[in-house]
Amino acid sequence: MSEEGPGDLDPARRAALAQRLLGALRSHCAGSKAEPRGSLARGTADAYSDIDLRWTVPDGRFADCVAAVPELLGTVRHVASLRVDPELGNSRGRRLLFVDFDGLPLFWRLDLEIVALSVADRPGYDQDNPAARSDDWSRPASALANAVAAVKALLRGRPETARGLLERGFARIGVADTLSGDWFADITRLARAAAAIEPARGPLAERVVRLAADHRPDLGRPGR
């Protein structure tokens, strides 16, 4: 079984990693607060849930803390890929980072929200601010994230959600494609199309293919 296999989806393992990440964030910046959010905070996470964390930092340290994230997370576990939500890429008070780690299931992506203390009580801050947006982002990486999310949706019994994710993934990289209904084939095709456009994403694309292969018996019948 590969590193992405079902046998690796022990929630206790994910919880231990989350605690280590929280500790690293807190220790890096005095006066900051790091805490779970989303399903981890609500206690409703399943085996496939992301690691959703929120790091609230002093306003004067916001830029420094954002810049420190790659090296900081690397002290906990080697970072395989990191991308920034382009909707907040230039925000001076809020960022959302998506991080995949080597040797962990792709389901367990870290979604790290970093927010300045002065706007911490304003949910969705800068979400609709055109000045906060950035054009510096990878469409193939985003498409690969959709492929992972599609596998997750299928394992949760949500085929229509998976279909929408795959359709948007192909559209994001400008590839005209009609889904066949064979989930494994469609996910593989999206992953390899993304890697063909941006070869640096090849290793991540192959991890996506292995993820789908490991869970292929549970993805549902073609067309369902």
Which of 108, 132, 156 terminates a domain? The answer is 132
Q: What integer is the mean pLDDT of 11-37?
A: 96
127, part of any domain = yes
Alpha-carbon torsion, ordered 193, 196, 198, 202, to 10 deg: 90
Fill in the amino acid letter for 90: N
224, part of any domain = no
- Tell me what percent of the residues of the chain surpass a pLDDT of 70: 95
Distance of CA 94 to the CA centre of its chain: 17
| pLDDT for the residue numbered 129 | 97
| pLDDT for the residue numbered 160 | 96
Q: What integer is the mean pLDDT of 30-41?
A: 95
74, part of any domain = yes
Quick check: 32 pLDDT over 90? yes
1, part of any domain = no
Fill in the amino acid letter for 108: W
Identify whether residues 143 and 124 lie together within a single domain. Answer: no
Alpha carbons 98 and 194: distance in angstroms, whole number: 18
| pLDDT for the residue numbered 177 | 81
Structure tokens at 101: 């780690």
Identify whether residues 69 and 154 lie together within a single domain. Answer: no
Quick check: 210 pLDDT over 60? yes
Identify whether residues 92 and 148 lie together within a single domain. Answer: no
Quick check: 4 pLDDT over 80? no
4 and 210 Cβ atoms separated by less than 8 Å: yes
- The tens digit of pLDDT for each residue in 135-184 reads 888 999 999 999 999 999 999 999 999 999 999 999 999 998 889 989 99
Give me the helix-helix angle, 159-172 and 183-197, nearest 10°. 20
First to last CA, the chain: 26
Identify whether residues 78 and 128 lie together within a single domain. Answer: yes
Distance of CA 8 to the CA centre of its chain: 18
> pTM of the prediction?
0.90
Which of 132, 163, 179 terminates a domain? The answer is 132
| pLDDT for the residue numbered 223 | 52
How many domains does the chain divide into? Answer: 2
Q: What integer is the mean pLDDT of 29-38?
A: 96
Q: What integer is the mean pLDDT of 2-23?
A: 82
Quick check: 188 pLDDT over 70? yes
Identify whether residues 125 and 147 lie together within a single domain. Answer: no
- 150: domain range? 139-218
Identify whether residues 19 and 90 lie together within a single domain. Answer: yes
Quick check: 1 pLDDT over 50? no
Identify whether residues 14 and 68 lie together within a single domain. Answer: yes
- The tens digit of pLDDT for each residue in 51-75 reads 999 999 999 999 999 999 999 999 9
Identify whether residues 10 and 102 lie together within a single domain. Answer: yes
110's enclosing H/E stretch is strand 110-116
Q: Nearest to residue 212, comparing CAs of 4, 1, 3?
A: 4
Contacts of 103 (CB under 8 A, 6+ apart): 3, 77, 78
| pLDDT for the residue numbered 5 | 46
Which of 113, 132, 151 terminates a domain? The answer is 132
